[in-house]
Structure 1
Amino acid sequence: MNNFKKLAIITGHRVGLGQALARHYLAAGWQVLGLSRRLWAPTPGLQQVALDLADSGELAAWLQSAVWQQALAGASEVLLLNNAATVEPNALVGKQDADAIVRALALNIAAPLLLSNALLADAPVGCLKTIVHISSGAGRHAYAGWAVYGATKAALDQHAAVLAAENHPNLRVGSIAPGVVDTDMQAAIRSSDVAVFPLRGRFDELHRQDLLQSPVATAAQMAAMIAAADFGQTVCRDVREP
């Protein structure tokens, strides 16, 4: 992946919004580095690494590898899209699975923070860097049953705000809520036990009324926001904002 100008690093690129973002940037001529447990078939312009991003030790070790260093070498612009996340456990506090809590903290918080830290440490000197966390309205409003998911997304908003306050050179940063997108995550929400996740009916109704946003349209909206000259002036954003 040497001798290129623009690199987009996308976590959870295999399905849903991550796949739509990867396809968008590939079509726009970017090189894409996709990080996910499962991979696409070989695709021009796409380098992939099979990683369990919920295994913080595995990710931290990989970020010390030659593969990571070689991926960044020669880039004049790098975009990190921290997309991979889990919505589980969808349950009231006191009814949550302990392993699901630990996995959510690792995947939703630790992985984006590790990747952001490594990018700032290892990007070529003078490289323009953009870090985008995929946030959620659940991190900005209180929803019963989403104590874990909401807390992890609120953490990303705060991390982005602190990054911006640190005034790193050649860095733009934002945390974007993508709205309610028609992905496997939504299917998981609709399969939740309503007895422990009171919000399930709301998402069932959005699905019945065909009110979910498409991943492709959402990816295009997000890419337009990121490409705008004023991106980063307001850290916490939403694709549904006026």
Structure 2
Amino acid sequence: MTGRRILVCDDEPQILRALKVILRDAGFEAVPAETAEEALDRAAVHPPDAAILDLVLPDGDGVEVCREIRRWSRMPILVLSAVGEEDAKVRALEAGADDYVTKPFGARELVARLQAALRRVGEGPDEPTIAAEGLELDLAARTVRRDGAEVHLTPIEFRLLETLARNRGRLMTHRALLVEVWGPEYADDVTVLRGHIANLRRKIEPPEGPRYVRTDPGVGYRFAA
């Protein structure tokens, strides 16, 4: 990760200073911006490896910045904001953000989320297997094993787990999962999604509680292993 450039857009000087230090200590170079216009200019002239965007900016909306960047770039985008409402999270994620971190934030958590997002960009789309903490998905054979024992999933359960695992660490909204797994006509059927998540967890999770599929209440799920 050393030397990667991270665009940081926030209009609070103390937040910018803190992020510069956090990123420097983690081996990154911070590229600061205080406005939406400045962020888009810097992203276009010398594209960074990732971006951390505030939602509320003096000349616009961080969601719009995210949407504009997504028109031409796959760079990881983390939204960092004091706005913690579910609707704000969903808007940012559906505009193309990879994750959402609420202020006040922990430095270690922020760096971990950033590193996870950067790893996802570097992974090939045709990865034959996905392994995480005792769980193994064979994407070609469409089989799942936990601690070496095969777990029998329905086709929908496998597709749901595969979608989450391919986006490891990323917070996937209810709508994104429903459209990806079931199709656009199911985009608002959260009850269907919750039922299948519950069935999936019964089959793959250890008795002590969720290890692989984590919930962000009211927003969605992430494959956290």
Same fold (TM over 0.5): no
Higher Rg: 2
- Greater relative contact order (CA < 8 Å, ≥ 6 in sequence): 1
Q: Using structure 2 for the length normalisation, give the TM-score.
A: 0.34
Q: Using structure 1 for the length normalisation, give the TM-score.
A: 0.32
